[in-house]
Chains A and B, each alone.
Chain A
Amino acid sequence: MRGRWRGVKYDFDWSVLWSGESGGWLLQGILTTLEISALAWLLAVALGILSGAMRTVPFAPLRAIATFYVEFFRNVPILVWMFFWYFGVPPLLPHAIRDWLFNHGAEFWAGMFALGVYHGARMSEVIRSGIQSIPKTQFEASMAMGLTVWQAYWLVIVPVALRLIVPPATNESLNLLKNSSVALTISVAELTFQTRQIETYTAKAIEALTAGTLIYLVLCVSIAIIMARIERRFAIPGLIARVGAG
């Protein structure tokens, strides 16, 4: 191995990361990554809670709709969803809306939707398993005091389930952030897109990729820390030990 590399010389030049326009690009990339991930996360959580809860209700048609959503969206690669929402959906829209979209970053919205619906389907499974870990008697007690099914879910079942699933939900949230890099394939100028742009302009691949790697690492670790705080803040007394051990 060494022999093959003998004589090869690579001049590291870390200044490419901040000289010229690079610094601005990186910053822009971070912001776009955070923005698309945050919006997609909200969509994923909303879809995940709704469909995850629907999969457990005592009403077959609702369960069927939610099951269809989950199986359809999580079993198609995220890249295909990006292409679908970017190339497939706009032509189906009315002219006015399509024109507006292409003037307002259609690729961003397509990427956001793809990420949101794909991870919503995966989040749904996490939430469903949380709900199913709650004893059925909790639901019965809610019904017995006169709450409607909707109230029982909104006031009792979902709030307890959400507290139980913070660790797997964190995992899924990190996957979402990392998968936002796939949006570069439909030209969303997110972090990976920008590091590749720096690489193209400066021919300094290692520096650019190192910067990208470290930034993703910092973002992910920060999110994990925030989620751990949320977990502790909202822990249910008596269930702390179980969740901590799990």
Chain B
Amino acid sequence: MKNSTAIEFRQVNKWFGKLHVLRDFSLKIDPGEVVVVCGPSGSGKSTLIRCVNRLEPIQSGEIIVLGESITQPGVNLSSLRARVGIVFQSFNLFPHMTALENIMLAPVKVRGLTRDEAEKTARALLERVGIPEKANNYPANLSGGQQQRVAIARALAMQPAIMLFDEPTSALDPEMINEVLDVMTDLAKEGMTMIVITHEMGFAKRVARRIVFMDEGQVIEEGGPDSFFDAPKFDRTRQFLSKILSH
């Protein structure tokens, strides 16, 4: 089965109690596409990507991931989550495990690899994110940038087809932001399908195929980086861009 679409949101509605967070949200993402999502605080960006691996349920509409509807009952969550990696703003490494153990955990417990196989993959991934020498460090003994790179390696260890990033650099000191963005850029070049929530517009210009600006749970404007930054169609987009670009 060949998927012409990696992720598709069809008329998705999501409420938190009375709060309508996603409103008839529709969007299609192709395999290998990198989509940057931006928008004001509270506009529903995190909620949107958390719905993709069912960390949040939706109330109506449909989300199709790699050809399979994931909002039907009876979806195999473990296998869905193995194919969709997510990286959080706050790293969320497990504090009682070393970098290596953090990366090995899911491959051993979910994919059923032997510890040897998992360790080999984990070391290769640490190499790929540029910190092979930190294998035995606990998260507390890593810088923020290093922790985030371990978190990316941990997600990649499941060999996902899609990677979701929720403001991966906004908890980092400025001098560490690039080391994380570089890893993500490489990943994009290798053809990973990615949704990246970020306000790093330099990264968006260089790496994104498409930029989606959302507000109040809806897509306000979307387009390729050139048209999006140089000729935004809507006032709301312009206001938002002037705010974040002036920083």
Contacts and interface: CB of A to CB of B under 8 A. Distances in A.
Chains A and B come from one and the same complex: yes
Nearest to A163: B96
A175 interface: no
Interface string A226-246: 000000000011110000000
B55 A143 contact: yes
Interface stretch (A47-55, A134-142, A177-185): A134-142
A144 B90 CA distance: 14
B141 interface: yes
A141 B138 contact: no
B55 A146 contact: no
A151 interface: yes
Given A148-B78, A237-B140, A237-B141, A155 B109 contact: yes
B155 interface: yes
Interface in B61-84: 77-79, 81-82
Given A145-B155, A146-B106, A239 B78 contact: no
B238 to A, nearest CB: 34
B162 interface: no
B42 interface: no
B140 A238 contact: yes
B81 A143 contact: yes
B88 A239 contact: no
B109 A147 contact: yes
A60 interface: no
Interface residues of A, number: 22
A156 interface: yes
Given A144-B81, A146-B110, A151-B109, A236 B140 contact: yes
Interface string B85-117: 110101011111000000001100110000000
A147 to B, nearest CB: 6
Contacts of B92: 135, 137-138, 140-141
Contacts of A148: 78
Given A137-B92, A155-B105, A155-B109, A144 B138 contact: no
A80 B182 CA distance: 66
Interface of A: 135, 137-138, 140-148, 151, 155-156, 159-160, 163, 236-239
29 contacts: A135-B90, A137-B90, A137-B92, A138-B92, A140-B55, A140-B92, A141-B93, A142-B94, A143-B81, A144-B81, A145-B81, A145-B82, A145-B110, A145-B154, A146-B77, A146-B79, A146-B81, A146-B158, A147-B105, A148-B78, A151-B109, A155-B109, A160-B94, A160-B96, A236-B138, A237-B95, A237-B141, A238-B141, A239-B95
Given A144-B85, A145-B155, 9 more contacts: A135-B92, A141-B88, A145-B158, A146-B79, A147-B110, A160-B94, A160-B96, A236-B96, A238-B141
